[in-house]
Chain A
Amino acid sequence: MRVRVNGTEVEVSAGMVVAVAVARAGRLWSRRSVIQEPRGPLCGIGVCYECRVTINGQAHQRGCLVACQEGMEIEADE
């Protein structure tokens, strides 16, 4: 299936989480902190909240917990 990460199409398999799609788009980080530091997946189990991205317009979703769905629009901070 395909999702889009900041407008770029990425091929993912069923069951993959959004954090994987972000990584497949070639990104090391998902977001920026209040003081603009880059942040990316750390715990991978929904505890650290570092991997947050905007999914289908909804901000602050944890990329490590949400499964990819066809056509999903994912936005990570530049």
Chain B
Amino acid sequence: MSGTYDVIVVGGGIVGSACAWECARRGLKVLMVEAGIVGGGATAAGMGHLVVMDDSEAQFALTAYSCQLWRELAAELPGSVEHEVCGTLWVAADEWEMGEVERKARYYEERGVAVEVIGGKRLEQLEPNLRAGMAGALRVPGDAVIYPPAATHWMSERAGEAGATVWRGVEVRQILEEGAVELAGGAVVEAFVVVNAAGATAGRLTPGLPVRGRKGHLAITDRYPGFARHQLIELGYLKSAHGEEGDSVAFNIQPRKTGQMLVGSSRQYGAEGGEVEPGILGRMLRRAVAYMPGLRLLNVVRVWTGERAATPDKLPLIGPVPGRSSIWLATGHEGLGITTSLGTARLLGERLVGGDPEIPYKPYDPGRFAWVPVAGQTGAGVGAW
């Protein structure tokens, strides 16, 4: 098989940009094609929290590995990326949740991630705007925050410096069987491997893909420096993030370097359209105010939504489509794509050149799902998996 490029990456979000950079860095001839602006989709809608998560061993492995890669990159990041190691506080509202804090602390410590169990009194000192009487928190001091669109722009520039070609405002209509893409204008561009990194819309290009959209809302306030000092998340977050079907909200607030407070979060399956929905936005903000009553007095200056690319097991799809050696996937990162972009790119790059990834790749391999790609058909992806 001949190819004009070695790799075509479809989608210039943070995952696609990281993959394009990684492949170019390894000497592959890369083309990245972004339909809109680089980092303008779910990347721009997300919070930018670099966080170690422990919903499963595989999720822990990928997030911890990725956070390590972010740390190695930190000194190179330009100021526009607003990288800040503010740490995460997983807030326990009561004694039962404090038990979870202890369990979580042991889990992280056993796996080499530094954490600190914080008592209620100390928590009041660290975060005086939290409601009084919280049981405590787990502090993960190595977690950090970035501004994802700027990080993505920077990665795409680095990909370019490493020899990658980046097309902006060019839509891919179809990924062809033989390892090529057909553009909206009808032109066909060939490569040995096409990487579908189109986020929640990946199913349009790879029909049958077990990915569907999970809508989220965020709000950002005016500048109130110091109102919160860490990224604060309720421990019950996991219930919201991983609960099965219903709409859910969780308290999740992030201090930006500008002094603005980014307030989340909500999760909805099957919510058509990108419009802000007052009902769930209200629930989300009431939840946040319940944890930080002073939020009520802060001015919210913008609210927006985004579409996470969710898979049935909350793990991304990284690797070849079953039975299609020339079509690879880098999607399905749900709410963790900002963190796991770097780990994804390393795994993908290593596997593409036949190397041995630093963490086991099997948990993220698309072949773990029993699904058959639907040949020669574009349009809607799977509505339900």
Which residues of A come within 8 Å of B, CB atoms? 34, 58-60
* Nearest CB of chain B from residue A49's CB, rounded to whole Å: 8
In the bound complex, how far is the Cα of B260 from the Cα of A34, in angstroms?
11
Q: List 6 A-B contacts (CB under 8 A).
A: A34-B223, A34-B258, A58-B297, A60-B222, A60-B223, A60-B298
A59 and B222 form a contact (CB under 8 A): yes
In the bound complex, how far is the Cα of B299 from the Cα of A58, in angstroms?
11
Decide yes or no whether B385 CB sits under 8 A from chain A. Answer: no
> Given the complex, which residues of A lie within 8 Å of B299, measured CB to CB?
60
Q: Which residue of B lies closest to A57 (CB)?
A: B297
Q: Which residue of A lies closest to B225 (CB)?
A: A59
Decide yes or no whether B369 CB sits under 8 A from chain A. Answer: no
In the bound complex, how far is the Cα of B223 from the Cα of A59, in angstroms?
9
Taking chain A's interface residues, is the majority helix, strand, or loop, or is none over half, making it mixed? strand
> Given the complex, which residues of A lie within 8 Å of B224, measured CB to CB?
59-60
Which residues of B come within 8 Å of A, CB atoms? 222-224, 258, 297-299
In the bound complex, how far is the Cα of B299 from the Cα of A59, in angstroms?
9
Other A-B pairs beyond A34-B223, A60-B222, A60-B223, 8, CB < 8 Å: A34-B258, A58-B297, A59-B222, A59-B223, A59-B224, A60-B224, A60-B298, A60-B299
* Nearest CB of chain A from residue B302's CB, rounded to whole Å: 13
> Given the complex, which residues of B lie within 8 Å of A59, measured CB to CB?
222-224
In the bound complex, how far is the Cα of B297 from the Cα of A59, in angstroms?
9
In the bound complex, how far is the Cα of B129 from the Cα of A59, in angstroms?
15
In the bound complex, how far is the Cα of B298 from the Cα of A60, in angstroms?
8
Q: Which residue of B lies closest to A52 (CB)?
A: B222
> Given the complex, which residues of B lie within 8 Å of A34, measured CB to CB?
223, 258
> Given the complex, which residues of B lie within 8 Å of A58, measured CB to CB?
297
Q: Which residue of A lies closest to B299 (CB)?
A: A60
Q: Which residue of A lies closest to B258 (CB)?
A: A34
In the bound complex, how far is the Cα of B223 from the Cα of A58, in angstroms?
12
> Given the complex, which residues of A lie within 8 Å of B222, measured CB to CB?
59-60
In the bound complex, how far is the Cα of B224 from the Cα of A10, in angstroms?
27
> Given the complex, which residues of A lie within 8 Å of B297, measured CB to CB?
58
Q: Which residue of B lies closest to A62 (CB)?
A: B299
In the bound complex, how far is the Cα of B333 from the Cα of A49, in angstroms?
38
* Nearest CB of chain A from residue B228's CB, rounded to whole Å: 14
* Nearest CB of chain B from residue A76's CB, rounded to whole Å: 15
In the bound complex, how far is the Cα of B258 from the Cα of A58, in angstroms?
18
* Nearest CB of chain B from residue A55's CB, rounded to whole Å: 11
In the bound complex, how far is the Cα of B224 from the Cα of A60, in angstroms?
9
Q: Which residue of B lies closest to A58 (CB)?
A: B297
* Nearest CB of chain B from residue A35's CB, rounded to whole Å: 11
Q: Which residue of A lies closest to B221 (CB)?
A: A60
* Nearest CB of chain A from residue B312's CB, rounded to whole Å: 43
* Nearest CB of chain B from residue A64's CB, rounded to whole Å: 15
* Nearest CB of chain B from residue A18's CB, rounded to whole Å: 16
> Given the complex, which residues of B lie within 8 Å of A60, measured CB to CB?
222-224, 298-299
In the bound complex, how far is the Cα of B222 from the Cα of A34, in angstroms?
11
> Given the complex, which residues of A lie within 8 Å of B258, measured CB to CB?
34
Identify the 4 closest CB pairs spanning chains A and B, nearest first.
A60-B222, A60-B299, A58-B297, A59-B224
> Given the complex, which residues of A lie within 8 Å of B298, measured CB to CB?
60
In the bound complex, how far is the Cα of B297 from the Cα of A60, in angstroms?
10
Q: Which residue of A lies closest to B297 (CB)?
A: A58
* Nearest CB of chain A from residue B223's CB, rounded to whole Å: 8
> Given the complex, which residues of A lie within 8 Å of B223, measured CB to CB?
34, 59-60
* Nearest CB of chain B from residue A73's CB, rounded to whole Å: 16
In the bound complex, how far is the Cα of B298 from the Cα of A3, in angstroms?
23
* Nearest CB of chain A from residue B220's CB, rounded to whole Å: 13
* Nearest CB of chain B from residue A36's CB, rounded to whole Å: 13
In the bound complex, how far is the Cα of B223 from the Cα of A60, in angstroms?
8
